[in-house]
Amino acid sequence: MSDICLILEGTYPFVSGGVSTWIHQLVTAMSDVRFSVVHISPFPNPRREYKYKLPSNVVNIQDLYLHERIADPGLSPRRWRRQAIARLEALQEELFAGRMEAFTEMLPLLRGAGPVLSFSDLFRSPEAWEVLTRAYERHGEGVSFLDFFWTWRSIYLPLLKTLQCPIPKARLYHTVSTGYAGVLAAVARRTMDSGMLLTEHGVYTHERLLEISQSTWIYSPQRERFRVQRELSFFKRFWLGFFDVMGRLTYQSADRILTLYDGNRTKQILAGAPPEKIAIIPNGIDLPHYRDIPLKPQGSERKTVAFIGRVVPIKDVKTFIHAARIVSSKRPGTEFLVVGPTDEEPDYTAECRELVKALGVTDVVRFLGKVEMRKHYPDIDLVVLTSLSEAQPYVILEANAIGLPVVATDVGACREMLEGRAPEDKEIGPSGLLTGVSAPEDTAHAVLRLLSEPGLWNAMSEAGRARTSRFYDQDDLISRYLNLYEHMMR
């Protein structure tokens, strides 16, 4: 039995990034607390590897593969199966109508010591077919039944895997997102006689809205592709409705909800989180680890600008590449680095590389992949973020702790991180410049300004170091989590 079971979807310890870095900080700093991990991912991956060296207080890692084949004992006795499926259908309608208590009543039908519904019961039985056809008649809006069937199956198979997943014993369950991880934490809250804590860095339902609205993997009828859409297609709304319910369920189940800044808190409340449960604890940074990294001498004529982050659509690397072309035309010799993992969405990485070729900037834009940043920071003049959505980007904390000014889109907590959130914070002065979203001209203008105004660069460098020292010290923020853990475990 562990003290804390972390329920994580697509992140630590197999994926690097800001959230994973934060989790590793938390676990490493609390050496006396025993952690277990349930890691949720789509499929088994025999080539995956740890992105972090696990500390000794991580005592167990359990996998949940959402799309792995389900062990199937076959059909249950017909009479019980008919009654159970009818009951489940009614409870699901109540859940989607907003009665969250229906979820608790569902669980004995899907897990536990008594008879439970199997994969065959829910996906191969005559009763399941009747449920599906009724759902189509009520909600299908005239789309193809075949398309409805495969979308329904794509949604409910991973959900069944989640609802029937074994849960390790722990004194407290801590999830860092809603979604499937949030649903599993909600199951633990109801079945394991332990508390539940939710920390959201980015608001999951908001990020899924951005992802799904731009996605090409969700089917849209062919006739809809030839006209401008004033609203999302049926199937995109179908998926978003599903994620919305998972989010509301997670919020209602959690004993406490933590987030990074006030803007996130507002989004959570709009998404169904009870305001009285929410508290704000920002990210922190290990200041001594970064303070000894030397800054590049500012007399150097050759400037280096770095995008640091995952090469994925939500980070909008293409805007950075377009900005690089604009800056290069006005300040020849400037170098642009794309630093971060390129293997999460290979198709998007390939598109970015093609864009570099198409814009004729192959001589000035380099993809470094994931590297040890301590070795590269001394060669960088400026850090750029062009994200469509962020929570509280760790890369801004790193850059400011070192003394590197930042150019960032005005999303998430970027404004308060660069300009301050309280009066005493704002008095320090800005440590970077903000731009619009998907605005390469804005980004290029901000980059050119900082590269050509040494006085502004120096002032922002000093402000970043002062702000992180005063308001983002990791030790102070970790102690708040430790106190919360101890309180909730009691």
pLDDT band (50, 70, 90) for residue 225? very low
**Tally of residues, the chain:** 490
The C-alpha atoms of residue 118 and residue 70 are separated, in whole angstroms, by 9
Mean local confidence (pLDDT), 203-207:
84
pLDDT in the model for residue 226 = 36
Q: Can you point out the beta strands (E) in 66-183?
A: 170-175
More confident: 232 or 193: 193
pLDDT in the model for residue 305 = 98
pLDDT band (50, 70, 90) for residue 208? confident
pLDDT in tens, 67-98: 998 888 899 999 999 999 999 999 999 999 99
How many percent of the chain have pLDDT more than 90?
82
Mean local confidence (pLDDT), 43-49:
91
pLDDT in the model for residue 223 = 44
Q: Which domains does the chain have, with CATH numbers?
A: 2-70+164-280 (3.40.50.2000), 78-156 (no CATH), 288-472 (3.40.50.2000)
Q: CB-based contacts of 433: which residues, under 8 Å, 6+ apart?
A: 405, 406, 407, 408, 418, 446, 449, 450
Q: Are 278 and 198 in contact (CB under 8 A)?
A: no
Looking at residue 190, what DSSP letter applies?
A: H
| Backbone φ and ψ of 234, nearest 5° | -55, -45
Mean local confidence (pLDDT), 361-374:
95
Q: Are 410 and 390 in contact (CB under 8 A)?
A: no
Classified as helix, coil or strand, 181 is: helix
The C-alpha atoms of residue 14 and residue 269 are separated, in whole angstroms, by 31
Residue 101 clears pLDDT 80, i.e. is over it = yes
Q: Is 286 exposed, middle or buried (0-12, 13-18, 19+ CB in 10 A)?
A: middle
Rg (CA), the chain: 24
Classified as helix, coil or strand, 303 is: coil
More confident: 404 or 206: 404
Q: In whole numbers, what is the pLDDT of the chain averaged over residues? A: 93
The C-alpha atoms of residue 131 and residue 136 are separated, in whole angstroms, by 9
Q: CB-based contacts of 398: which residues, under 8 Å, 6+ apart?
A: 285, 290, 308, 373, 377
Range of weakest confidence among 210-224, 225-239, 407-421, 461-475:
210-224
Mean local confidence (pLDDT), 217-242:
66
Looking at residue 294, what DSSP letter applies?
A: P
Mean local confidence (pLDDT), 332-340:
97
How many percent of the chain have pLDDT more than 70?
96
| 85: number of Cβ within 10 Å | 21
Residue 244 clears pLDDT 80, i.e. is over it = yes
Q: Are 232 and 252 in contact (CB under 8 A)?
A: no
- Taking alpha carbons only, the member of 84, 66, 82, 72 closest to residue 119 is 72
Say if strands 382-385 and 365-369 run parallel, antiparallel, or are unpaired. Answer: unpaired
- Taking alpha carbons only, the member of 313, 433, 348, 455 closest to residue 384 is 433
CA distances from 439 to 264, 311, 316 (A): 23, 18, 10
Residue 49 clears pLDDT 50, i.e. is over it = yes
The C-alpha atoms of residue 318 and residue 123 are separated, in whole angstroms, by 42
Residue 205 clears pLDDT 90, i.e. is over it = no
Range of weakest confidence among 214-218, 337-341, 382-386, 448-452:
214-218
Residue 346 clears pLDDT 80, i.e. is over it = yes
Question: Where is 7: in which H helix or E strand?
Answer: strand 2-9
pLDDT in the model for residue 113 = 87
pLDDT band (50, 70, 90) for residue 116? very high
Q: Are 255 and 199 in contact (CB under 8 A)?
A: no
pLDDT in the model for residue 217 = 57
Residue 230 clears pLDDT 60, i.e. is over it = no
Cα 238 to chain center, whole Å?
21
- Beta bridge partner(s), residue 367: 338
* Tokens linked to 190: 């109801």
Q: Could you tell me where the DSSP H helices lie in 55-111?
A: 78-96, 101-110
Range of weakest confidence among 166-170, 277-281, 282-286, 463-467:
282-286
pLDDT band (50, 70, 90) for residue 141? confident
pLDDT in the model for residue 215 = 64
Mean local confidence (pLDDT), 208-213:
78
Mean local confidence (pLDDT), 144-153:
94
Mean local confidence (pLDDT), 102-110:
97
Cα 364 to chain center, whole Å?
31
